[in-house]
Structures are given as structure tokens and as C-alpha cells.
Structure 1
Amino acid sequence: MNGEASLREEVCRVGASLYARGYVHASAGNISVRLPDGYLITPTDACLGRLDPAKLARLDLEGCQLEGDRASKTLALHRRIYAADDTARCVIHTHSTHLVALTLQGVWRPDDIVPPITPYYVMKVGHVPLIPYHRPGAPEVAERVAERIAGARAAGRPIRAVMLERLGPNVWHDSPAEAMATLEELEETARLWLLSRGEVDPLSEVQIDELRRSFGARW
């Protein structure tokens, strides 16, 4: 239980950090972690800035709730991400301002919402496809995301994030801290792209290949 207790504290710490810095507002956003025998996820309509470790929803591997406050309605999507990517240990969803604004204005490409304009975006985030708009909690979204994960893996360029049109990003990694760092880099790149008004050239293929060879970038 010590490991689970630490994860509960970490989810609350990450939630408070995201809320304090404006990555989430009101009761928007959710965080989950995968356990050996189930999942933890933030409760439905909970403010990520004021989470209680004891009230996080605890679920079994089938998604049946065992304890805590009622689980977020996005649980099905989170479980589908974990099933599609066995390296994922944490999923974070936010309504990050610049990323949502980007989908309102128009993304760079459906398969890449922003171009590779910085080395750290290439190294830390990678390709991020757009998932067309569906209402919050729509079951079709989970299947669309799983298809994107499978397609990216088959193409030899696995992804760790998708962008839900008009809603926000879903980012996953092997810990809450790593997932948060990936989200931060993604939101910052969207902000830079919007500020540049799309008038900056992407990194060249030669520059990207150097990042692949030097740092193992998955672009």
C-alpha cells in the first residue's frame, strides 16, 4: 500500500501544480494512474487544485469502482489508452488554453497539430494527432484514440499524446511527473506557434535526424 499511497500523493501534487499555473481551471481536467490490480483516477467534477488523496476513485481492472468519490466520466478513455499502450502508467487530460485555441483557429495538420519548431518538442513530445470533436465522454473517442495509438506504433513512430478538438489534450507517460512535463512542453509549443502566427519554419529533416541520433527522439 505504500506505493499506492505515494501515487495518491503524487496525483494530488501534480493536480495542484497544473491548477496553480493555469493548465486547468474550475473542475476541468483529470488524472489517472495504472496500478498492478486496477486504477486510480480523480473524481468527477473535482477541482485538480484541491484533491484529497483519500478521495481519489479506486477501481479494479474491469473498471468497477471499489472506493473513493465517483470516478471521472473519462475513465473509459483512460482505460483504452492503457490497453493500447502498455508503457503508459499515467494519463493526464486538461483544457489547456493555447491548445484548445489552436483547434479553434486551425491546427497545422490533422496528424501533427503543431509543427516541429523546437528541439525539445521533437525530443519530449513527438507527433500529436487531432481527434475530431465529440461530446465530452463520448464512447467513440476512446476507439478513435486507440486506433491512432495502434497506427502510430505500426508506422514506427509511437505517440504519447492526442488532442481532442475543442476539449484539450490527453497525454500519457510512465509517471505523473513525466506526463505533466510532456503536457507542459506541448502547451508551450502551441503557445509559441500561435504567437508566431504560423510564420516560422519547422526544423529541417537534417536537424530532426540529428535529434534522433543524439537523443533517441521518436519523431
Structure 2
Amino acid sequence: MSEAAKLREDICAIAKSMFDRGLTCGASGNISARLSDGTVLVTPTGSSMGFLDPDRISHLDETMTHLSGDPPTKEIPLHSAFYETRTGTGAVVHLHSTHSVALSMLPDTDPEDVLPRLTPYSLMLLGRVKLLPFFLPGDAAMGDAVRGLAGKRAAVLLANHGPVVAGKDLWAAVYAMEELEETAKLALLTRGANPRLLQDAEVKALAAKFDLDV
């Protein structure tokens, strides 16, 4: 099986798994992944993540120009911004996952550090997550906002919309996205209960051991 065929199959299998687990619904969410030649495979616009056809995945060139397959998601500005600014990005995942969206709407969510420091894994996989303002879906300004971060964040949360995560490859991006959603869920479940957060010394130890920028 060729690299492109394998990646198409992986995108569809992962997308279905997330759909089946309720991490995305309807025709929401999108995934992109870069091939070794620099071109990019992207889930099509208006498609359900639970019912993707590998042969209809959009294929774009290095400048995000459509080459073949169905028309790509309208959220291409988000994806391209991560590829352009974050060195080593091999895949980008965007969902409308419930707990992350809920966290984005709460007035006391820290825009510079969305996730409370509840577990080591959110720091290890995501670092600090930036809350970006609300944009109309598909607005090119979303990409400009990501570019404004100069590649310093692997994940952002769009207010009233959903999370976007970049990873070194498809699996890394998916694992990080799932960690973001689970941490957002933990944050909502423990809200008002005065949970024990990771202490500064513990965060510093994590940063030193795993070379994290937190």
C-alpha cells in the first residue's frame, strides 16, 4: 500500500472512531495530514467524520491548492497556518467537541492557559492552550490569529467553536486532541470543587524531564 493510500485509510478510521465516541457529530470537524512530498490530504467540506470515503479525501498541493478529490473543508486557513508557522507539523485536527467548546464560553477561562493543570498529560501533549476570539466559520482571520502566535502553541481553542491541535503526525495530533477534550471534561466535572492542581514544583519537574515549554 502506498504512503498516500495508507494515510487516507488512517484518516478515515480515526475520524470514524472519534465520530462513534461522540467527539464530533453531524458534518463537523476536519483533519489534515501532510505527505512526505509536502502535499496534504484533507477531509472534504460538508462530510461526516463517521462516513468518509478514502478515495474522496481532498488532495492539496504545498500551497493548499486543490489537486483532486472532493472540495476540502472550509477551515483550510486554520490548517495552513499551523503548517506554515509550526516547524515539524505533520497533521492538524479540528473538532467541535462538547467539553472544550463549553470551556471556551466560560468567563473565567484563562485565555493564555485554557486548561487547569489537573494532570501531567495535558502539559506533556499540549503545553499551554491559547483561547482565540470568536470568528465566523471559515474566516481567513482564524488563520491570521494562529500565525500571530508564531508557532509557539501546538493547540488553540476557538471561542464558541472548538479546539484545533497540530502534531508531528496524524496519531500525535489525534492523541493530543483527545487529551484536550478529556482535560476540559475534567475541568468542568471538578469546577467549584477546589480540585488539587499540579503544584509549581511539579510543573517545573515535568518541564525539565520532558523538555516542555510550560
What TM-score comes out, normalization by structure 2 length? 0.94
Shift of 1:218: 3.0
> What is the aligned-residue identity percentage?
37
Q: Which residue of 2 aligns with 1:176?
A: 170
**8 A contact 1:123–1:218 mirrored in 2:** no
User: Following the alignment from structure 1 to structure 2, what is the Cα–Cα distance between the partners of residues 107 and 123?
Assistant: 24
User: Following the alignment from structure 1 to structure 2, what is the Cα–Cα distance between the partners of residues 107 and 184?
Assistant: 23
Q: Which residue of 2 aligns with 1:121?
A: 122
**8 A contact 1:116–1:122 mirrored in 2:** yes
User: Following the alignment from structure 2 to structure 1, what is the Cα–Cα distance between the partners of residues 178 and 123?
Assistant: 13
1:7 aligns with 2:7: yes
More helix by share: 1
Q: Which residue of 1 aligns with 2:195?
A: 200
User: Following the alignment from structure 1 to structure 2, what is the Cα–Cα distance between the partners of residues 209 and 99?
Assistant: 25
Shift of 1:84: 0.5
SS in 2 for 1:169: strand
Q: Which residue of 2 aligns with 1:188?
A: 182
Deviations 1:151-202 (A, max 9, x none): xx5xxxx321000011100001012111111011111111111111152243
Give the letter aligned to residue 80 of structure 2.
Answer: R
Give the letter aligned to residue 109 of structure 1.
Answer: D
1:65 aligns with 2:59: no
Give the letter aligned to residue 195 of structure 2.
Answer: V
1:74 aligns with 2:68: no
1:47 aligns with 2:48: yes
Moved more, 57-66 or 179-188: 57-66
Shift of 1:50: 0.8
User: Following the alignment from structure 2 to structure 1, what is the Cα–Cα distance between the partners of residues 166 and 105?
Assistant: 23
Alignment of 1:119-158 (within 5 A): 119-148=120-149, 150=150, 158=152
Give the letter aligned to residue 121 of structure 1.
Answer: S
User: Following the alignment from structure 2 to structure 1, what is the Cα–Cα distance between the partners of residues 148 and 188?
Assistant: 28
Shift of 1:141: 1.0
SS in 1 for 2:101: helix
Give the letter aligned to residue 213 of structure 2.
Answer: R
Give the letter aligned to residue 82 of structure 1.
Answer: Y
SS in 2 for 1:50: coil
**8 A contact 2:77–2:139 mirrored in 1:** no
Q: Which runs of 5+ in 2 are unaligned?
A: none
